[in-house]
Amino acid sequence: MRAPLQALEATLKGVLFGQERVIRELLATVVAGGHALLEGLPGLGKTLLARAFAEASGLSYRRIQFTPDLLPADITGTEILEDGQFVFRPGPLFAQVVLADEVNRATPKTQSALLEAMQEGGVTVGGVRHALPAPFLVLATQNPLELEGTYPLPEAQLDRFMAKITVEAPPRAAWLRILAEEPQSPEPVEGLDLLKARAEAQQVVASQPALEAIANTAQLAGEERHLRMGLSPRGAKAWLALARALAYLDGRAHLDWEDLRAAALPALSHRLLLTEEAQFEGLRVEQVIEDLLRRTMPK
């Protein structure tokens, strides 16, 4: 599946200019079988990227605009009375690619409606479980918490996202291209099978020293005084899966230290939570992660 994935990556680069790292991290998350949280200021192309990915991959797509008055049933669906019987009417969650736009503008109760779907691949309504289509991918966008009208995502929901992808302003060359060109209309990539790509990426070999480095980082994170929450087993496995996917996209059968380093920030930055004292001191979680990697990996 590497050739179709390369074609998909090239297509997305023709839609979102100057965001090569963001596109690569998104594809790695998809290949690793996870969900992605895209964070950045409004207007940087997060929604455009999600829609273009769905169109180019040939998957069904639904967009949910999260607002403070959104209810859980508005997402999952509900049962209605029809001809004397209760009939389930699926909500917009029933698609292969679901864009949860500005997810942190909804209340925590509504945000939590995504938990079962993201973890189990299905939703339960009225005591009946309804399976979601496969592959199932949630692409959530959120504005930085400093902006008005935002709610912090619960820790349990943050942990369901395999990667947090930070979308920053593009470089100057991309600005000129954005102003001069119109984005391409993506066409479905032929021969792309994401489920097969996931199976292939799982075959990438991780050496014993690489596994030990992940375990050592998890242990040190649990002892780090600047963190109020360390790395969970789910987070460690997400880090490994993301590193494997990055190696697979580069055409390598073994992951190396650079794969682990490249996967660390997207896999860990939303899971390792700073203490209030560390935030008051102006410390950033990226600094803590970089320090942990220096202590557990060779230079």
% of the chain at pLDDT higher than 70:
97
Q: Write the pLDDT tens digit of every residue in 19-29.
A: 999 999 999 99
Where is average pLDDT lowest: 52-66, 70-84, 90-104, 217-231?
70-84
Give me the domains of the chain, ranges plus CATH numbers. 2-178 (3.40.50.300), 202-296 (1.10.8.80)
Residue 224 has pLDDT above 70, yes or no: yes
Looking at every residue in the chain, the average pLDDT score rounds to 89
pTM beyond 0.85:
yes
Backbone angles phi, psi at 241, to 5 degrees: -65, -40
**What dihedral angle (degrees, nearest 10) is formed by the CA atoms of 254, 265, 230, 226?**
140
Between helix 20-31 and helix 233-249 the angle, nearest 10°, is 110
Residue 149 has pLDDT above 60, yes or no: no
Q: Write the pLDDT tens digit of every residue in 176-206.
A: 888 888 887 888 899 999 999 999 999 999 9
Among residues 168, 170, 144, 152, the alpha carbon closest in space to that of 111 is found at 152
Confidence of residue 257 (pLDDT cuts 50, 70, 90): very high
Residue 148 has pLDDT above 60, yes or no: no
CA–CA separation, 181 and 105 (whole Å): 32
Where is average pLDDT lowest: 69-83, 88-102, 146-160?
146-160
Residue 143 has pLDDT above 80, yes or no: no
Beta strands in 32-191 (DSSP E): 36-39, 61-65, 77-82, 85-90, 97-101, 122-125, 128-131, 137-142, 163-166
How much of the chain is helix, strand and coil, in % rounded to 5? 45, 15, 35
